[in-house]
Amino acid sequence: MSDSQWQPPGDWDLGTWSSGLDGPPPASRRPATAPLWKRALAIFIDNGLLYGLTVLVGLQATSSNVVADLRVLSELALSFCYFGYLNGVMGQTVGKRVMGIRCVDAETGEVIGFRRGLTRYAVVAVLGLAFLIPAFIDALSPLWDVRRQAWHDKAARSIVVTVS
């Protein structure tokens, strides 16, 4: 679907979405794109949960450089598994579930799968670890994107929508 076929958020033309009906679902059943504040709160919840988990299992204790390096690697692996699996396979992280939003394929409305979930998070991780200004722009890009997609959404061909 080309960008010219997309309508402003909240007024979608979802003719390709699976609805069990011929043509697009009725307007009352069309998902709206998630507002940035809900996405931000979901990330805050998810990161708080991950931080709490690392504290609980003692990954925050550092006594040497090797332990510190292992802690960073284990936190990164945990984050990739958490965001890759939950966004990709389940469609929602804990934070997204609490906020009533979901990550779906931009074309079909279905879950994006583990590989694309990993891709989505890899873009966030690389920008966050290496390039702070682009990471900040990525986080804010849904504000001016007609489909409310961040760069990591575009990379994974996903979109975040509000769940009824």
Arithmetic mean of pLDDT, 98-116: 94
pTM of the predicted model, to two decimals?
0.74
Q: What is the 3-state secondary structure (H, E, C) of 20-77?
A: CCCCCCCHHHCCCECCHHHHHHHHHHHHHHHHHHHHHCCCCCCCCHHHHHHHHHHHHH
Arithmetic mean of pLDDT, 6-14: 42
* pLDDT at residue number 58: 64
H/E element, 105: strand 101-105
Residue 55: pLDDT band by 50, 70, 90 thresholds?
Answer: confident
Does 10 have pLDDT greater than 70?
Answer: no
* pLDDT at residue number 69: 72
Does 25 have pLDDT greater than 80?
Answer: no
Q: Is 100 left (phi over 0), alpha (psi -120 to 50) or beta?
A: left
SS3 90: helix
